[in-house]
């Protein structure tokens, strides 16, 4: 079996067990997995029980796919990926983006990518929710490198509008409905797993970055390769190195994510309800 066959096998396994194939999928970053647990009529797939699906071993990533309905979003069927794997865990980019490929073959048309990110823009506050307008890929590789399988998409996909303007406007409308003004910005992805140095953050700010993280960008590239419309949301769980006079740690990231989870879930429900 080749890569496409592995993806198809996983998609077929999910399709056989859910009452309705979702057209909307959400990838939940560090500490943001509670949204998956809020879905009703849920069918849960631990990642290790899905064929060929890579495990997520990072603290704050539950490692399961939940297909269910969001009651506060019109009862729409949603696939929620509670956790992702990362390049820094030793995975290649085909493995990192496997779940997005599965969502594409399953029939998902709209993908919401979320992450915990460091605030590079000094105007941001810890706990802010940022709409991603664009990204900079500094991971050092691209998930489309290698032979192209036309069953997934064209060899040279356009990246002029990776993050859908329509969906960004929808996010703004959902934010206004809950009296939440959402900042917009550019997300830059680095390899990790070490946090960036203050000098690296100054460099990233100079080239136009507003937030920094270790995920999302490969998933967005693969989604656009498959013709999926993408929205990106970053939870600014910490200010990046050198912005504040304190060291960074994953516990602080998780604590901020826990603090804003109610607001985050409400925003997701508002966005999905308007799709």
Confidence of residue 246 (pLDDT cuts 50, 70, 90): low
Which residues are within 8 A (CB) of 32 and not within 5 positions of it... i.e. 6 or more apart? 114, 116, 235, 257, 261, 264
Question: Does pLDDT of 79 surpass 60?
Answer: yes
> Topology of 3-274 in CATH?
Rossmann fold (3.40.50)
Query: CA 269, CA 109: separation in Å to the nearest integer?
Result: 17
| Percentage of residues of the chain with pLDDT beyond 70 | 92
Please name every residue paired with 134 in a beta bridge, in sequence order, or none if there are none.
Answer: 186
Annotated active-site positions, please? 30, 61, 86, 88-89, 116, 214-215, 238, 250
pLDDT digits (tens, 9 = 90+) for 182-217: 999 999 999 999 999 999 999 999 999 999 999 999
Which pLDDT band, with edges at 50, 70 and 90, does 260 fall under?
confident
Residue with tokens 């956790």: 83
Model pLDDT for residues 216-236, shown as the tens digit of each residue: 999 999 999 999 999 999 999
183 or 257: whose pLDDT is higher? 183
User: Which DSSP category does 241 fall into?
Assistant: B
Cα–Cα dist 194/171, whole Å: 31
Q: Is the dihedral of CA 66, 102, 224, 191 positive or negative?
A: positive
Residue spans of the domains in the chain: they are 3-274
Residue-wise pLDDT for 152-187, tens only, equals 999 999 999 999 999 999 999 999 999 999 999 999
């Amino acid at each position: 079996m080749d890569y496409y066959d592995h993806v198809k096998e996983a998609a077929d396994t999910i399709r056989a067990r859910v009452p309705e194939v979702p057209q909307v999928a959400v990838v939940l970053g560090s500490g943001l997995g509670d949204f998956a647990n809020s879905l009703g009529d849920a069918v849960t797939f631990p990642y290790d029980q899905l064929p060929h699906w890579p495990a997520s071993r990072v603290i704050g990533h539950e490692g399961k796919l939940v297909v269910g309905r969001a009651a506060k979003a019109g009862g729409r069927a949603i696939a929620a990926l509670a956790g992702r794997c990362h390049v820094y865990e030793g995975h290649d980019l085909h493995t990192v983006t496997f779940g997005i490929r599965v969502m594409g073959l399953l029939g998902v048309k709209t993908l919401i990518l979320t992450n915990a990110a460091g605030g590079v823009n000094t105007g941001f506050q810890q706990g802010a929710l940022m709409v991603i307008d664009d990204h900079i890929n500094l991971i050092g590789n691209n998930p489309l490198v290698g032979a192209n399988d036309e069953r997934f998409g064209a060899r040279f996909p356009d990246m002029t509008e990776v993050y859908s303007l329509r969906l960004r406007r929808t996010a703004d409308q959902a934010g206004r409905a809950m009296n939440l003004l959402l900042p917009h910005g550019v997300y830059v992805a680095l390899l990790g797993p070490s946090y960036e140095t203050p000098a690296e953050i100054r460099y990233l700010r100079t080239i136009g970055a507003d937030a920094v993280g270790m995920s999302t960008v490969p998933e967005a590239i693969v989604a656009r390769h498959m013709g999926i419309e993408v929205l990106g949301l970053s939870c600014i769980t910490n200010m990046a190195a050198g912005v504040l006079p304190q060291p960074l740690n994953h516990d602080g990231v998780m604590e901020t994510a826990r603090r804003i989870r109610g607001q985050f879930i409400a925003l997701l429900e508002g966005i999905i309800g308007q799709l």
